[in-house]
Structure 1
Amino acid sequence: MQDTFVTIARFPYSTEAQIAKGRLEADGIEVFLRDNLTIDTDPLVSQAIGGVKLKVLAKDEERAREILKSIKAYSVDNEGHPIVCPNCKGEHIEMYTSINNFKSLMSFLIGLLFFTLPFSARYQYKCEDCKTEFPIKN
């Protein structure tokens, strides 16, 4: 069982997987990528086959997951300081776009129809620790 590979992460493109692979190999963890050549050949099949799979030996799984978790980028403010959750004071904050009013819906639809970027988007933050959602403060 210890000589088998387990999937610890999936990436839509092989470039992201190569970065994670390099970081894990630098820490002495043996890494194997699966389906990276298929996706490099035809990136449109990435979602159909489940992306590039990052695999490590079962004995290294826990340590590899901790390393990947430690290098994940979280949201920062304009000065480079981590954004803090107003509820739990955690710093594991992700930014996402929301369509929550008519203006942002119309912007999304126009962008979809004319292949342009939306000109009105609302951004929110979400804490990964306590799942609190809060708006950007300007």
Structure 2
Amino acid sequence: MSQTFKTIAKFQYSSEAQIIKGRLESEGIQVFLSDNLTIDTDPLVSNAIGGVKLKVLSKDAMQAQHILETINRYSVDDNGNAIHCPNCNSQEVAMFSTIKDFKSFFAFVFGFIAGTLPFYSKDKYRCDNCNTEFDIK
């Protein structure tokens, strides 16, 4: 019997794909990652080769897609509760990192020159409904 794989998701880095792979395997779905070793060796080629492809057997594709849709992509607080937008009260709030002030810009440039990760970056939240940007205190 021929078993063919179907790509159901693509990720920029293999760590993201490994997390989803673990979730799908816990549900009994056989998962195969392609191009993950290439990207682990040289992460800069991820966009050039289309990222890490997460593949499942064709017969399990619908079930795997359903599981992927149940994973919440929006931010939660330390207690696991959804973060609400202060403007429209939506729960569709995602965290993003920004470099807007001199301190974060200087740390980024210094980290880039020194070959290390940036020392300072500020995380903010953005509502997907009204595009309001805000901090959590």
CA RMSD of aligned residues (A): 3.1
1:70 is matched with: 70
- Provide, for residues 25-53 of structure 1, a one-character-per-residue CA deviation record: whole Å limited to 9, x for no partner: 3334443322234445x244651322220
Q: C-alpha separation between the residues in 2 aligned to 1:68 and 1:137? A: 28
1:136 is matched with: 135
- Provide, for residues 97-120 of structure 1, a one-character-per-residue CA deviation record: whole Å limited to 9, x for no partner: 11223343233222322335333x
1:36 is matched with: 36
Q: C-alpha separation between the residues in 2 aligned to 1:71 and 1:54? A: 15
1:117 is the counterpart of 2:123 = no
Which amino acid counterpart does residue 82 of structure 1 have in structure 2? Answer: A
- Displacement, 1:60? 4.3
1:91 is matched with: 91
- Provide, for residues 75-98 of structure 1, a one-character-per-residue CA deviation record: whole Å limited to 9, x for no partner: 233444321123443333221111
Normalised by the size of structure 2, how large is the TM-score? 0.68
Aligned residues: 133
Which amino acid counterpart does residue 137 of structure 1 have in structure 2? Answer: I
Q: C-alpha separation between the residues in 1 aligned to 2:123 and 2:15? A: 27
1:26 is matched with: 26
Which amino acid counterpart does residue 117 of structure 1 have in structure 2? Answer: P
Q: C-alpha separation between the residues in 1 aligned to 2:34 and 2:117? A: 34
1:106 is matched with: 106
Q: C-alpha separation between the residues in 1 aligned to 2:110 and 2:87? A: 36
Q: C-alpha separation between the residues in 2 aligned to 1:15 and 1:102? A: 31
Which amino acid counterpart does residue 94 of structure 2 have in structure 1? Answer: E
**Partners of 2:11 and 2:17 within 8 A in 1:** yes
Change in CA separation of 1:107 and 1:14 when aligned onto 2, cut-off 3 Å: closer
Q: C-alpha separation between the residues in 2 aligned to 1:63 and 1:71? A: 13
Which amino acid counterpart does residue 99 of structure 1 have in structure 2? Answer: I
**Partners of 2:13 and 2:43 within 8 A in 1:** no
Q: Percent identity?
A: 47
